[in-house]
């Protein structure tokens, strides 16, 4: 595997001569030594026939340019070489004196191109070779630990998570605490198809539907960046590549295939409910309205651990892939299928989830989870069935030019349920789980397709052209159980059963990515790039359709959006010990709400009554002097005198009443006040003009203070003549914005093996389709949203330890990051989209690896130093007295950010060993997440707005899971593998989950892979 390169191996042959790499080539047989050197330089190697038999190379150890290393290795040998190739693949041509001038060159090793293993070796090495923060998962790791849900592919990737892992059937990437539509774009072969889905009281999540059986590699880039051909957001990017012909065919093979079959236990086929759509309830039907949440047709008793058969076959998968590699074209095709039932939860250490305690005096789901979904039992709504097709065709037009066509289709059925509809009936309560069971909803369905055409032009002797383009399109049709209704709804007014739970969405995207890299000088490169994307969201649902209408059903979203960006990046290495990059990105967007346009056309209403502020009531308390107290008493006595005279009180009665009045009159005076509290003209409330705070600052004691929006018609005024409501034009229109951001870095080499880099990068994120249209989960603000603007600082030190303790590979990297995103688009406590002031995240990451050929290990540790969200308006909306601070941990009540908080500490440790000439490999990993308690109770103790039903984040206990595997090659083409996950059978909730669904317990998987 490649050692750490002192510079990025990308660059054409001219730059390779000047770039330096760390080499550790032991010498020996020439072909073997050349393979080592090519690996360590990230180069492609061409040899001539068998002309090198019997020749031995010189050792090369130390820091050299590629040209210098070749000269030393070949010194004294009758061998000549030349360098060519493009920026992503330097090419070494080697010829003996006897074969010089012949054309019998054959590729012996193509780094990162010839096969999937080389691609993955490069991906893992790029963690330490590139001057950005990345994590990587190759084909073997993904297939070994793909787990029970797509989100499991992120496990073991440092500071990378997926939201709502067990209740979505998709990936919702979270990188260093940054998550949401467009913040961490996920692309598959350069295509994107993310879709935002309603989660009821628990907000919304951004879904990327993907079949892990088609994935060849995953690279996560952390933080804003200008990586070539990568669409990056304010939090980074997730780059997924599907299988290629090089994953199927061995080097030199023209035809072949791969067949993979797997089976796992710890799952059981779901007991799907019967939909009663179109039927009438019987005379004895007792559950009208169905909003009691109990529907006997949906509730099932989960299977217990006694039904969890070690040899169950309710999780099975297979994949067949075929490919051919010819002189002028490559072809490959793959079919994948997996069907998995509901998983069983773990059994151990469930006490954290079973205490039944109130949290801050309120009911909370987490302490009751294991009392409802019991340890070891089936977890309903966690099944999946996935069928996928993949096809690729490459036309090799000539040596420097190729055209590739790609097609991908996935049909997915998976279990999901709105988080608020998961059973919360604890033992002894009405409809408790022990007696009535828990809900099992029907399955959601998603059909996604992707098409792309890649073109590459890289003439061998043209320093001005290294061109890439990718024209793509995705089409996604989803019918998910996420509309807000219920599968079998009936009312007294409309008793016929109807399914109001399914939400239909059709999301089409089309885009183009282009770039070109120019060699301006031997030490200076310039990369120019750009991308364009158009998306259209629509729905076949009608909110007025009586067959699906429900009071709890939310509007479907529909609209169009377009975004384009242009970027440039200079890469300059003026001296061998320093390297600098400087670039920038200009971007713009527009969006249009088609649903709102139709509604306004149909209703004729295009205005909205918007309050100019709030009506604020507060009570002040004054400590009275003796004279002031006597005046209050005298006023009361004067009023009492009328009653004494009217009813003829005696003098004794009058004196007694007088004494009672004096005794009951406190030496304090409470005065009720009512004031107008105006916002800043864009819906933002401030401390500076808050009457309560002003009164307190003036020395008055505030007893109570509350505020509420005005009601009434437009142009209404209050008692003081303040305009409290006004009509604002909210006509559907194109929303537009634009901006540019810089990206800078500097790298310094402290020794032959060590370097550190500093990066400063910015990114802009424009409002997504979700944030630009009317619909579920949050309302549009009548004022335009500003784009988010992220500022990211990163400092890292990397050291190449290859050769230490007999290692073939050994590296360590320590990184500090600090990211501040201004104008974060967030949901307010009143469930309206708005820009909050900023979110700041900071932390430290440690990554390291060691491999001596027989034993290997990797370790990564992350510590979150800060996750702070600041917004004066949100704080004042929550508490008009100003008691809530402007800056809180994780996020504010009602917002989405609070459900995206990462564990404060996390760690991954991998260990393994190879035996029997590498035919047997045994390994495992340990994954740790520190427990997380919802910050709501420390941020807003006693605030009445804290409840389970307003996107309140779920807590989790400390999580330590153990996985292990054994892989044995029966022959060079057939291998068998046994994998065990969660070996201690821990009962736990995944970090960042929005649904109270326990993760899978101990699971064993056996698989067979055959190449032919």
Residue-wise pLDDT for 433-448, tens only, equals: 888 899 999 999 999 9
pLDDT in tens, 996-1011: 999 999 999 999 999 9
Residue-range domains of the chain with CATH:
13-114 (3.55.50.30), 119-241 (2.170.130.10), 242-249+275-606+731-1011 (2.40.170.20), 612-715 (no CATH)
Residue 871 per-residue DSSP state: -
pLDDT above 50 for 492 = yes
Q: What percent of the chain has pLDDT over 70?
A: 92
Q: What is the DSSP letter of 781?
A: P
Q: How far apart are the first and last CA of the chain?
A: 25
Among residues 760, 674, 713, the alpha carbon closest in space to that of 225 is found at 760
More confident residue, 201 or 975: 975
pLDDT in the model for residue 289? 53
**Reported confidence tier of residue 691, pLDDT bands at 50, 70, 90:** very high
Question: Which carries the bigger pLDDT value, residue 411 or residue 38?
Answer: 411
Q: Which pLDDT does position 88 carry in this prediction?
A: 54
pLDDT of residue 113: 37
Mean pLDDT (whole number) for 981-993: 97
Q: What's the pLDDT at 686?
A: 95
pLDDT digits (tens, 9 = 90+) for 16-45: 444 677 788 877 888 888 888 888 887 878
Q: Is 576 exposed, middle or buried (0-12, 13-18, 19+ CB in 10 A)?
A: middle
Instruction: Strands of 853-896 (E only): list them.
Output: 855-870, 887-889
Q: What does the pLDDT average to over 328-355?
A: 96
Report, in angstroms and rounded to the nearest whole number, the Rg of the chain calculated over CA atoms: 33
Q: With cut-offs at 50, 70 and 90, classify the pLDDT of residue 4.
A: very low
Token pair 């130390």 in the structure block, residue? 62
Average pLDDT over residues 632-646: 89
Q: Cα(927)–Cα(835) distance, rounded to whole angstroms?
A: 36
Binned at pLDDT 50, 70 and 90, residue 531 comes out as very high
Q: Is the pLDDT of residue 6 over 60?
A: no
Confidence bin at 97 (pLDDT 50/70/90):
low
**Span 342-369, mean pLDDT?**
87
Between strands 236-242 and 186-188, the pairing is: parallel
Using alpha carbons, select from 47, 14, 40 the residue that is nearest to residue 25: 40
Query: Which pLDDT score is estimated for 112?
Result: 34
Picking from 956, 952, 858, the residue whose alpha carbon sits closest to that of residue 905 is 956
Of the two residues 614 and 16, the one the predictor is more confident about is: 614
DSSP 13: H
pLDDT score, position 48: 57
Q: What angle do CA 476, 478, 480 make, to 5 degrees?
A: 155
Q: What is the pLDDT of residues 208-223, one digit of tens each?
A: 999 999 999 999 999 9
- CB of 714 closer than 8 Å to CB of 730: no
Other C-beta atoms lying within 10 Å of the C-beta of residue 834: 25
pLDDT at 7: 32
Q: Kindly state the average pLDDT of the residues 894-911.
A: 95
pLDDT band at 158 (very low <50, low <70, confident <90, very high): very high
The predicted model gives 59-84 an average pLDDT of: 84
Residues facing residue 696 across a β-bridge? none
CA of 8: how far to CAs of 108, 122, 130, 240, in Å?
Answer: 22, 11, 6, 21
Query: pLDDT tens digit string along 667-676?
Result: 888 889 999 9
pLDDT of residue 402: 96
pLDDT digits (tens, 9 = 90+) for 945-977: 555 556 778 899 999 999 999 999 999 999 999
**How far is it, in rounded angstroms, from Cα 446 to Cα 480?**
8
Contact (CB, 8 A) for 999 and 345: yes
> In this structure, what token pair is assigned to residue 715?
């142009």
Quick check: 352 and 996 in contact, CB under 8 A? Answer: no
Q: Which residue has the higher pLDDT, 797 or 753?
A: 797
Residue 16 confidence (pLDDT): 46
Average pLDDT of span 636-644: 89
pLDDT of residue 778: 87
User: Average pLDDT, whole number, for the chain?
Assistant: 89
pLDDT for the residue 942 = 58
pLDDT at 128: 95
pTM of the predicted model as reported, rounded to 2 decimal places: 0.87
pLDDT at 283: 76
Provide the pLDDT for residue 254: 92
Q: Is the pLDDT of residue 9 over 50?
A: no
Task: Give the span between the Cα atoms of 982 and 962, in whole angstroms.
Answer: 5
DSSP character string of 521-559: ETTEEEEEEEEEEEEEEE-S--TT-TTT--TTPPPPP-E
Q: Measured between alpha carbons, how far is 689 from 676 in angstroms, rounded to an integer?
A: 10
Strand partners, 297: none
Please give the average per-residue pLDDT across 531-559, as a whole number: 88
Whole-number Å distance between alpha carbons of 596 and 581: 45
Angle at 689 between CA 683 and CA 694, to 5 degrees: 145
Quick one: average pLDDT of 491-516?
92
Give the per-residue pLDDT at 8: 36
Task: Report whether pLDDT(167) > 70.
Answer: yes
What was the pLDDT predicted at 108?
A: 44
The H helix count followed by the E strand count for the chain is: 14, 49
Size (the chain), residues = 1012
- In this structure, the number of other CB atoms found within 10 A of the CB of residue 644 comes to 16
What token pair was written down for 805?
């303790």
């Amino acid at each position: 595997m490649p050692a750490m390169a002192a510079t990025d191996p990308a660059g054409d042959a001219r730059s390779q001569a000047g770039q330096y790499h760390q080499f550790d080539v032991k010498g020996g047989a020439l072909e073997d030594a050349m393979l080592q050197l090519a690996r360590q330089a990230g180069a492609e190697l061409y040899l001539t026939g068998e002309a090198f038999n019997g020749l031995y190379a010189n050792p090369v150890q130390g820091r050299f340019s590629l040209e210098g290393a070749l000269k030393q290795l070949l010194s004294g040998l009758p061998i000549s070489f030349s360098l060519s190739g493009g920026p992503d693949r330097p090419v070494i041509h080697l010829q003996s004196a006897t074969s010089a001038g012949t054309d019998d060159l054959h590729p012996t090793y193509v780094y990162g191109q010839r096969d999937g293993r080389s691609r993955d070796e490069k991906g893992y090495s790029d963690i330490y070779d590139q001057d950005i923060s990345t994590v990587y998962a190759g084909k073997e790791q993904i297939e070994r630990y793909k787990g029970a849900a797509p989100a499991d592919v992120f496990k073991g990737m440092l500071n990378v998570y997926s939201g709502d892992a067990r209740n979505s059937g998709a990936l919702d990437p979270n990188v260093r605490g940054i998550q949401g539509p467009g913040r961490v774009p996920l692309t598959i072969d350069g295509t994107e198809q993310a879709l935002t889905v309603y989660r009821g009281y628990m907000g919304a999540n951004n879904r990327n539907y993907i079949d892990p059986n088609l994935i060849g590699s995953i690279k996560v880039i952390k933080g804003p960046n200008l990586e070539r051909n990568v669409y990056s957001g304010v939090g980074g990017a997730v780059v997924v590549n599907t299988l290629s012909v090089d994953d199927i065919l061995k080097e030199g093979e023209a035809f072949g295939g791969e067949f993979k079959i797997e089976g796992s236990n710890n799952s059981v086929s779901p007991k799907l409910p019967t939909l009663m759509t179109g039927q009438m309830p019987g005379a004895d039907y007792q559950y009208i309205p169905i909003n009691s949440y109990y529907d006997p047709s949906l509730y099932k008793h989960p299977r217990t651990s006694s039904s969890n058969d070690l040899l169950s076959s309710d999780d099975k998968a297979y994949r067949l892939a075929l490919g051919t590699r010819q002189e002028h074209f490559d072809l490959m095709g793959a079919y994948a299928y997996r069907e998995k039932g509901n998983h069983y939860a773990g059994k151990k250490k469930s006490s954290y989830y079973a205490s039944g305690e109130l949290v801050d005096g309120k009911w909370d789901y987490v302490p009751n989870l294991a009392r409802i979904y019991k340890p070891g039992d089936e977890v309903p709504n966690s099944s999946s069935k996935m069928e996928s097709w993949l096809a690729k065709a490459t036309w090799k037009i000539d040596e420097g030019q190729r055209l590739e066509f790609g097609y991908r289709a996935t049909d997915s059925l998976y279990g999901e349920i709105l988080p608020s509809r998961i059973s919360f009936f604890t033992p002894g309560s009405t409809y408790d789980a022990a007696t009535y069971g828990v809900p099992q909803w029907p399955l959601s369905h998603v059909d996604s397709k992707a098409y792309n055409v890649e073109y590459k032009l890289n003439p061998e002797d043209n320093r001005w052209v290294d061109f890439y383009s990718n024209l793509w399109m995705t089409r996604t049709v989803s019918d998910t159980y996420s509309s807000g209704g219920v599968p079998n709804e009936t009312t007294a007014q409309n008793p016929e059963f109807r399914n109001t739970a399914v939400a239909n969405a059709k999301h089409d995207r089309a885009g183009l990515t282009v770039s070109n890299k120019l060699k301006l000088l031997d030490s200076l490169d310039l990369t120019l790039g750009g991308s364009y994307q158009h998306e259209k969201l629509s729905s076949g649902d009608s909110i007025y359709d009586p067959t699906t209408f429900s009071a709890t059903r939310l509007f479907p979203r529909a609209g169009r959006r377009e975004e384009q960006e242009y970027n440039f990046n200079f890469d300059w290495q003026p001296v061998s010990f320093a390297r600098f990059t400087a670039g920038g990105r200009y971007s713009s967007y527009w969006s249009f709400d088609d649903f709102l346009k139709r509604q306004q056309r149909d209703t004729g209403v295009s205005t909205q009554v918007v309050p100019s502020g709030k009506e604020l009531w507060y009570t002040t308390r004054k400590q009275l002097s003796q004279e002031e107290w006597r005046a209050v008493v005298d006023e009361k006595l004067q009023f009492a005198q009328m009653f004494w005279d009217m009813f003829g009180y005696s003098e004794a009665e009058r004196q007694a009443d007088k004494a009672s009045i004096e005794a009951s009159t406190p030496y304090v005076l409470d005065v009720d006040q009512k004031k107008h509290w105006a916002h800043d003209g864009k819906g933002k409330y401030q401390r500076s003009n808050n009457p309560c705070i002003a009164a307190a600052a003036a020395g008055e004691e505030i007893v109570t203070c509350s505020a509420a929006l005005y009601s009434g018609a437009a142009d209404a005024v209050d008692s003081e003549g303040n305009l409290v409501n006004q009509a604002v034009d909210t006509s559907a229109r194109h929303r537009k914005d634009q901006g540019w951001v810089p990206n800078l870095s500097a790298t310094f080499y402290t020794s032959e093996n060590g370097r550190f880099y500093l990066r400063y990068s910015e990114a802009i994120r424009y409002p997504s389709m979700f944030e630009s249209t009317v619909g579920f989960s949050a309302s549009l603000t009548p004022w335009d949203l500003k784009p988010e603007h992220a500022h990211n600082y990163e400092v890292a030190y990397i050291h190449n330890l290859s050769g230490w303790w007999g290692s073939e590979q050994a590296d360590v990297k320590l990184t500090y990051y600090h990211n501040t995103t201004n104008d974060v688009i967030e949901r307010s406590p009143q469930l309206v989209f708005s820009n909050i002031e900023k979110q700041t995240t900071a932390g430290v990451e440690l990554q390291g690896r060691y491999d001596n050929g027989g034993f290997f290990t990797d370790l990564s540790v992350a510590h979150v130093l800060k996750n702070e969200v600041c917004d004066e308006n949100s704080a004042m909306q929550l508490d008009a007295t100003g008691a809530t601070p402007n800056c809180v941990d994780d996020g504010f009540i009602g917002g989405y950010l609070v459900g995206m908080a990462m564990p404060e500490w996390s760690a991954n440790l991998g260990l393994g060993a190879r035996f029997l000439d590498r035919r047997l490999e045994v390994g495992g990993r340990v994954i740790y997440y520190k427990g997380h308690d919802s910050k709501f109770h420390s941020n807003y103790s006693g605030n009445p707005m804290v409840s389970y039903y307003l996107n309140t984040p779920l807590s989790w206990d400390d999580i330590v899971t153990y996985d292990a595997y054994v892989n044995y090659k029966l022959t060079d083409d057939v291998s068998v593998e046994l994998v065990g996950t969660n070996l201690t059978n821990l009962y736990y909730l995944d970090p960042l989950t929005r649904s109270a669904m326990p993760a899978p317990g101990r699971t064993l998987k056996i698989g067979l892979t055959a190449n032919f």
